Amino acid sequence: MEAAAIHFRTVVVGGGSVGLLYAARLVRSGLSVSIVTRSPRQAEQLGESGLLFKQLDGQKVLVPVEASPAGDGLPEADLYVLTVKQNDLPGLLPALRDTPDHARVLALQNGMGHHELLTQVLPEERCFYGIHTEGARRIHECEVEHTGKGALRVGPWQERQEQDSIMSAFVRAANAAGIDTIYERSIEPFAWRKLLANSLINPLTAIFEIPNGALLENSHTNVLMRELFVEASAVAASCGQKIGESDWQEIGSICRNTSRNLSSMLQDVKLHRQTEVQAINGFLVQKGKEAGIPTPLHETLLRIVLLKTCLGTEKEGGDST
């Protein structure tokens, strides 16, 4: 099924693994897509050489893409898909404020806080959010590997009366591209469940430097994950979220479906970059304090990841003698 009949322009903001994965798949479905990257070099290379996309079956295909650096601003579009990390979102706000009034923004950030940031500069009705469980790995600036099958849920943060026409068209286009996409009335409950999954998987894989699937292969990590889940569930319940045993089972399914995937937090730690741990475990710790719920395990993970990132940065910038 082709998406060519769906006439709207999409800009994917971010040239990391998630941005490249979605751009490649949407372009292949016939959608008009361009990528905005942090560095001019990546934009130039993508424009000249295209994007090499390694599919789940191992087949590699070259996808021609349009690309431009963030320093040039955001091209005019009907839909902006934000795949940058939570830490980079504040720097995008001035550019998003200047986007066309009819355009919609779809934010795919991990953790929490992006809803509050976006609604500082855009009307609520223009803001949408996505929760995805796809596995992806950026091989280099112009190559991405699809490492695990998942789903994409999109919708407003809180329930609205009617579906948005642009977002409905995007859902049709994404499904035509083979991306299992569902339009939800409210994304907030799904954002909480993704937060819980990220708060278990990401810091543990970053600390132990293992792929997602390895967490299920050891009894010690299994027990630790369960204890972390109990802590996080109590915090979620204090915020009005109903978390149950099925949510625990879903976290195991995510680990299995993305077993070869290196979490974004692990990739950031390896590259000595700032992680999203503050928006994930840090958010749970803060909400726990506000509600009087102890979160010692999540606070420990938060401190370890922050320390590990800090030590890696110091080592990278240290003496070479």
Q: What is the largest CA-CA distance in the chain?
A: 64
Q: In whole angstroms, what is the distance from residue 293 CA to residue 289 CA? A: 6
Domains of the chain, earliest start first? 9-185 (3.40.50.720), 190-314 (1.10.1040.10)
Q: Is the pLDDT of residue 196 over 90?
A: yes
pLDDT score for 315: 54
Give me the pLDDT at residue 161, please.
82
Chain segment 217-240, per-residue pLDDT in tens: 999 999 999 999 999 999 999 999
Residue identified by tokens 């596995």 is 135
pLDDT for res 321: 26
- pTM comes to 0.87
Look at residue 149 in the predicted model and tell me its pLDDT: 86
Checking if the pLDDT of 320 tops 60, the result is no
Cβ burial 15-38 (10 Å sphere, 16+ → b, else e): bbbbbbbbbbbbbbbbbbbbbbbb
Q: How far is CA 290 from CA 234, 238, 239, 295, in A?
A: 12, 10, 10, 11
Q: What is the pLDDT at residue 316?
A: 52
- Residue 7: its pLDDT value, please? 67
How much is the average pLDDT of 285-306?
A: 97
pLDDT tens-place string over residues 68-81:
999 999 999 999 99
pLDDT at 313: 57
197 token code pair: 């999954």
Is pLDDT of 190 > 60?
yes
pLDDT above 90 covers a percentage of the chain that reads: 81
CB 265 within 8 A of CB 210: no
What is the reported pLDDT for 314? 55
66 forms bridges with which residues in the sheet?
34
The 3-state secondary structure of the chain, one letter per residue: CCCCCCCCEEEEECCCHHHHHHHHHHHHCCCEEEEEECCHHHHHHHHHHCEEEECCCCCEEEECCEEEEHHHCCCCCCEEEECCCHHHHHHHHHHHHCCCCCCEEEECCCCCCHHHHHHHHCCHHHEEEEEECCEEEEEECCEEEEEECCEEEEECCCCCCCCCHHHHHHHHHHHHCCCEEEECCCCHHHHHHHHHHHHHHHHHHHHHCCCHHHHHHCHHHHHHHHHHHHHHHHHHHHCCCCCCHHHHHHHHHHHHHCCCCCCHHHHHHHCCCCCCHHHHHHHHHHHHHHHCCCCHHHHHHHHHHHHHHHHHHHHHCCCCC
- pLDDT above 80 for 216: yes
Phi, psi for residue 219 in degrees, rounded to 5: -65, -35
Mean model confidence pLDDT for the chain:
92
pLDDT in tens, 36-73: 999 999 999 999 999 999 999 999 999 999 999 999 99
Q: Are 146 and 17 in contact (CB under 8 A)?
A: no
Token digits for 73?
A: 């601003």
φ, ψ for residue 195, nearest 5 deg: -60, -45
Lowest mean pLDDT segment, chosen from 4-13, 155-164, 275-284: 4-13
